[in-house]
């Protein structure tokens, strides 16, 4: 049995992408070019998760584990398609793909919203359950160090796994078990990138949620676009290696150019 994630992408075309900036220069290049699309997709994502998040917060305040978890699942169901649209926007920016943002966003939303529902619900279930568990441990006051370490390790594992899982939704049309298998293989196959991306997401959302409501402005300004963009930059080389994103984009561009040239070819038969 192969240890490589399965894809439905086309074979390599032999195209070698031009070298790009890396690290902070690449990050600021993306901000200079794509900040507004990233911000707009982030605001939509925040709005999509808002109803479920509000229910989960009410559950936390009222001491109801069931309401907290239900809010997490609801938030994932409603917010999943918007998160998929946000990730699609980030991936298009990372592969320097041209296009009018609202047009590509709507198309990606229509194509991926069904496929994103179950992964979104699972993400919400994880966030709601883990949030309640950490709250219960903090209130207990006598939680052992080993249990705290295990809880934090679980957060990193799940955050890394969901990062690879959700990144596939805008890229490939595969059933959830295959997406999960691919995510597991990439989790270990690109473990340093997994660890770095999980750390970025866990620290950002951990601090943001811990200091609510003081961090509401942070959510409005940076929301999903900042952590997803940074994590996307970290994971992108792995995604490109597995799914041949650059080669596929180059092949599509070549096909479009050939089609336009064929359409504009002069006709001397008349």
The one-digit pLDDT tens for each residue of the chain (270 residues) are 445 554 444 444 454 555 778 889 999 999 999 999 999 999 999 999 999 989 988 988 888 899 999 999 999 999 999 999 999 999 999 988 888 899 999 998 999 999 999 999 999 999 888 888 877 777 777 777 787 788 788 888 999 999 999 999 999 989 999 999 999 999 999 999 999 999 999 899 888 877 777 888 888 899 899 999 999 999 999 999 999 887 776 665 555 555 555 656 665 555
Task: Give the residue carrying structure tokens 């479920």.
Answer: 52
Alpha carbons within 13 angstroms on the beta-carbon side of residue 52 total: 24
Q: At what angle do helices 225-243 and 65-94 cross, to 10 degrees?
A: 60
Looking at residue 34, its pLDDT comes to 93
Cβ-contact 247, 12 below 8 angstroms: yes
Q: How far apart are CA 124 and CA 163, in angstroms?
A: 13
Q: At 78, which helix (H) or strand (E)?
A: helix 65-94
Query: Hey, what are 88's tokens?
Result: 């699609």
Q: Which of 67, 74, 82 is nearest to 52 (CA)?
A: 74
Looking at residue 8, its pLDDT comes to 47
Q: In terms of C-beta distances under 8 Å and separation of at least 24 residues, what long-range contacts does 217-221 make, across chains too? A: 219/46, 220/46
Q: How far apart are CA 98 and CA 120, in angstroms?
A: 28
Q: At 114, which helix (H) or strand (E)?
A: helix 101-140
CA distances from 79 to 48, 89, 213, 256 (A): 4, 15, 20, 34
Q: In this structure, what are the phi and psi dihedrals at residue 195, rounded to the nearest 5 degrees?
A: -65, -45
Q: How far apart are CA 248 and CA 8, in angstroms?
A: 11
Please tell me the pTM assigned to this model: 0.83
């Amino acid at each position: 049995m192969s240890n490589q994630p399965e894809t439905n992408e086309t074979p390599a075309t032999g195209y070698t992408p031009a070298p790009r900036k890396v690290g902070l220069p690449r990050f600021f290049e993306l901000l200079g070019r794509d900040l507004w699309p990233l911000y707009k997709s982030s605001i939509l994502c925040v709005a999509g998760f808002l109803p479920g998040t509000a229910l989960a917060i009410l559950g936390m305040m009222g001491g109801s584990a069931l309401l907290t978890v239900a809010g997490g699942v609801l938030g994932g169901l409603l917010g999943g398609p918007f998160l998929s649209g946000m990730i699609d926007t980030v991936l298009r920016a990372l592969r320097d793909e041209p296009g009018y943002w609202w047009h590509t966003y709507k198309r990606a939303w229509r194509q991926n919203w069904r496929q994103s529902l179950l992964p979104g619900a699972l993400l919400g279930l994880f966030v709601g359950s883990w949030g309640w568990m950490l709250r219960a441990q903090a209130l207990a006051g006598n939680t052992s160090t080993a249990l705290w370490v295990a809880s934090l390790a679980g957060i990193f594992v799940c955050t890394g796994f969901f990062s690879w899982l959700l990144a596939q939704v805008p890229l490939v049309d595969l059933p959830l078990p295959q997406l999960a298998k691919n995510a597991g293989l990439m989790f270990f196959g690109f473990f340093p990138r997994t660890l770095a991306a999980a750390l970025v997401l866990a620290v950002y959302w951990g601090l943001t949620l811990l200091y609510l409501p003081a961090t509401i402005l942070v959510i409005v300004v940076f929301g999903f676009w900042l952590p997803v963009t940074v994590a996307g930059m970290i994971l992108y080389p792995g995604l490109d290696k597995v799914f041949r994103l650059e080669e596929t984009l180059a092949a599509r561009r070549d096909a479009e150019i050939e089609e336009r040239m064929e359409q504009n070819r002069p006709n001397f038969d008349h």
